[in-house]
């Protein structure tokens, strides 16, 4: 799902530059890999890499890229699992596979912690609040009351409609296979009902 190929290439150039400094002066100032135990250095290096994420996920937490979800304030365990799943290709997304493989395993953990600590961004209401579709009650069993997420399942409340409806469709059509429960549930719900749910959930 790449809707802006030039942007992606520009980003990859930045990531490559961060991974291997181009000249000696840069090497002296900022090594590609932090000296073990030097937390400040690790933070500076990772900080620069994480700025790249903002290109699509937004520097205020509101995504700029149409297909990119809100990741600020998502549960840390969920973020980490997704980054691992992209890295191991258990979850398919050309762009995120590139991004996740540009980070080391240790950096995946730091990236997850970094975005989980941010506050979920306030978003202008785009849809009028509707009454909940009946099946939404089932979702709360794992996604928690009001679908704010928890250890068992990620936050859905207030996520972008376009992303939710597409994520649900991918589970239903077997394109996203990194959770068997979600696949089975989404297969059993009609596309029209999934849309109604996504609309309601994005308005929470
Ligand atoms: C070129 C745009 C782009 C960049 C840059 C980017 N992402 Fe993404 N990201 C996306 C898109 C698009 C998706 C949705 C993928 C899908 O549809 O499955 C996504 C999904 C994710 C998800 C899954 C969220 C969820 O709710 O399941 C995480 C986590 C994530 N990105 C983290 C990052 C991190 C960390 C970085 C920086 C290292 C980053 N992204 C950089 C476009 C981008
Ligand atoms: C049995 C527990 C369970 C129930 C019930 C459940 N989910 Fe989930 N859901 C999960 C888990 C766990 C994940 C994370 C899967 C992964 O690791 O990618 C998830 C992920 C999702 C995602 C993707 C989120 C993202 O950021 O990409 C959506 C959308 C979603 N669920 C919608 C729903 C809806 C709508 C319902 C109710 C009809 C529902 N779920 C019911 C466990 C559940």
Predicted TM-score (pTM) of the model is 0.87
CATH number of 136-202: 1.10.760.10
Residue 130 and residue 202 in contact, taking contact as beta carbons nearer than 8 Å: no
Q: What ligand 1 atom has the least distance to the C-alpha of 112?
A: 35
How far is 143 from 137, CA to CA, in rounded Å? 10
* pLDDT confidence of residue 41: 65
- Of 153, 160, 172, best ligand 2 pocket probe by most atoms within 8 Å of the beta carbon: 153
Query: Measured from the CB, is residue 140 less than 6 Å from ligand 2?
Result: no
Specify the DSSP class assigned to residue 68. Answer: P
Q: Give the residue extent of every domain in the chain.
A: 5-117, 136-202
* Residue 168 Cβ contacting ligand 2 at under 6 Å: yes
Q: Which atom of ligand 1 is nearest to the CA of 92?
A: 18
**Which CATH number is 5-117's, of 3.40.50.10470, 1.10.1040.50, 3.40.50.720, 1.10.760.10?**
1.10.760.10
Torsions phi, psi for 203 (to 5 deg): -90, -5
Are domains 5-117 and 136-202 of this chain identical in fold? yes
Query: For helices 94-101 and 5-19, what crossing angle results, to 10°?
Result: 10
Give 10-residue mean pLDDT values along the chain (204 residues): 60 63 47 63 75 93 91 96 96 94 91 94 71 88 96 96 97 97 96 94 92
Q: Taking each helix axis from N to C terminus, what angle separates 94-101 and 76-87, rounded to the nearest 10 degrees?
A: 100
Report the C-alpha gap between 88 and 101 in whole angstroms: 9
What pLDDT score was predicted for residue 23? 46
> What angle do the packed helices 191-202 and 136-143 form, to 10 degrees?
60
First-residue to last-residue Cα distance in the chain: 26
Q: What is the 162 CA–ligand 1 centroid distance (Å)? A: 14
Which pair of tokens denotes residue 53? 């994420």
Question: Position of tokens 């997420």?
Answer: 149
Q: Whole-angstrom Cα distance, residue 177 to residue 91?
A: 7
Give the contacts of 165 (CB within 8 A, at least 6 positions apart).
Answer: 194, 195, 198
What was the pLDDT predicted at 135?
Answer: 85
- How far is ligand 2, taken at its centre, from the CA of residue 142, in Å? 7
């Amino acid at each position: 799902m790449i809707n802006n190929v030039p942007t992606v290439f520009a980003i990859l150039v930045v990531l490559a530059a961060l991974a291997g400094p181009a000249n000696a002066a840069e090497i002296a100032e900022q090594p590609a890999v932090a000296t073990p135990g030097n937390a400040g250095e690790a933070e500076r290096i990772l900080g620069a890499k994480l700025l790249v994420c903002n290109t699509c996920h937004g520097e205020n937490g509101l995504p700029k890229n149409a297909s990119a979800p809100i990741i600020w304030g998502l549960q840390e365990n969920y973020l980490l699992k997704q980054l691992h799943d992209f890295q191991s290709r258990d979850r398919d997304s050309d762009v995120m596979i590139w991004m996740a493989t540009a980070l080391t395993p240790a950096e995946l953990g730091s990236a997850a912690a970094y975005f989980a600590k941010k506050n979920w961004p306030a978003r202008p209401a785009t849809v009028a609040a509707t009454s909940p579709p009946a099946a939404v009650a089932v979702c709360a069993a794992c996604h928690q009351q009001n679908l704010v997420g928890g250890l068992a399942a990620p936050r859905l409340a207030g996520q972008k409609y376009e992303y939710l409806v597409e994520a649900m469709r991918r589970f239903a059509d077997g394109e996203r296979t990194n959770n068997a429960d979600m696949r089975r549930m989404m297969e059993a719900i009609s596309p029209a009902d999934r849309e109604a749910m996504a609309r309601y959930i994005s308005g929470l």
